[in-house]
Amino acid sequence: MPLNRLQKIISESGLLSRRKADLIIKQGRVTLNGRQAVLGEKADPSSDKILVDGRDLPKKLNHKVFLLNKPYGVISSCEDNHGRKTILSFIPSHLRLGIHPVGRLDFDSRGAILLTNNGELTLRLTHPKYSHTKTYLVWLSGKPSQSILDNWRRGILLDGKKTLPAKIEFLDNDSRKTLLKVILKEGRNRQIRRIADLIGHPVQDLQRISISNINLNGLQEGKWRELKRKEWSSIIN
């Protein structure tokens, strides 16, 4: 079996995401063949002894990917200290082993979010260098002018750094609000809402309808389905 980086081996076991695997290696919680592992080391899980917190890695799990249409008012995490409902609570308990959310969707936003035990898929969809698109339907207060939307398309300064170019399509409006389709290749914290506030047209409703090539396609709010491998394998190949 070819050698792979330790963080990839750990994430593919379904124990942790690759980002968290990086962290525990730095914290000295991983040993390789009886000695403390170093970030960036490679190993062969079929012949090398890898322990996390003194325990063997789980046997490699079958990779699972779930698509959830998250309702408003649900936390995009596995647990919440304030007792609020989390996205993991929608998945039956016998399917939750190693499952974690891929990125985030705000408490006050709704729509498509993925949960998986596949660390590589999580990395590809959350690391900026891979630039996978995310598509949103956004109701804004009022009617932004064409020049305002053009500025948004080119990039808006947030926290001292300009956002990447965005695709923005006007879909509908009435006297009080405007519906846009917004396609981004990045996902800064509350990015759309913050931009909407800056341009003077706050968000009234925000729904994510697709992540890369994975679409809601009529999945009802609060419902989930397990994706077939062919639906997500192209993202990591």
Q: Catalytic residue positions?
A: 106
Give the whole-angstrom CA distance, residue 126 versus residue 186: 9
Helix axes 229-236, 119-126, angle to 10 degrees: 60
> What is the secondary structure of 42-111 as a DSSP string?
EE-TTTS-EEETTEEPPPPPPP-EEEEEEPTT-BSSS--TT---BGGGGS-GGG-TT-EEES---TT-EE
- CA-wise closest residue to 226 among 62, 120, 68: 68
Region at 85 (left for phi over 0; alpha for psi -120 to 50; beta for the rest): beta
Could you write out the three-class secondary structure of 192-234? HHHHHHHCCCCEEEEEEEEECCEECCCCCCCCEEECCHHHHHH
